[in-house]
Structure formats: C-alpha cells, structure tokens
Amino acid sequence: MASPHDFGLFESIVADAIYMPPETPLLAAARIRGNLTVNGLGMLLNQARPAFNAWFGTMPEITPELLQAIKATF
C-alpha cells in the first residue's frame, strides 16, 4: 500500500488561491502536517500592481509595510 511519503505529500508546498480567510481549512491541515503553505494574497497584490500602474503611472512595490497594512484589515 502506498503511503503519503511515496507521493512527496509531506515535502509539498500547499497553495490556496483565496486570501480571505488568510488560512483556509486546507492550509491549516497542511501546516499541521508540516507543509509550507501559501495563500492567495501574494497573487492578488502582484495582479494589482499592473492595474495600479495603468491607472496612476507608477508601479507600486510590495513592501513589508504594505503587507502589514493589508493584513491589519483582515
């Protein structure tokens, strides 16, 4: 019988494309298993950068301060 180790499940990065809530049940379960997890906030911000640039003529940087400000709204 195959085990999860046979498929690399414990070494995998688990991603969920949504950003609200910051940790979904999928990500929570993966974190508890020891997987690296990523939510959709980075994707949202990186998709917003070109739109912001198109409207305002400047490409914003994703700084730690910006991430903190956005996370404070959750």
Residue 29 scores a pLDDT above 90: yes
Give the CA distances from residue 12 to residues 21, 27, 38, in Å, rounded to whole numbers and listed in that order.
21, 12, 11
**pLDDT given for residue 61 in this prediction:** 96
Letter for the amino acid at 70? I
Taking the C-alpha atoms of residue 25 and residue 20, their distance in angstroms, rounded to an integer, is: 12
Q: Tokens 């003529």 label which residue?
A: 57
**pLDDT given for residue 8 in this prediction:** 62
pTM beyond cutoff 0.85: no
Residue 3 scores a pLDDT above 60: no
Residue 58 scores a pLDDT above 70: yes
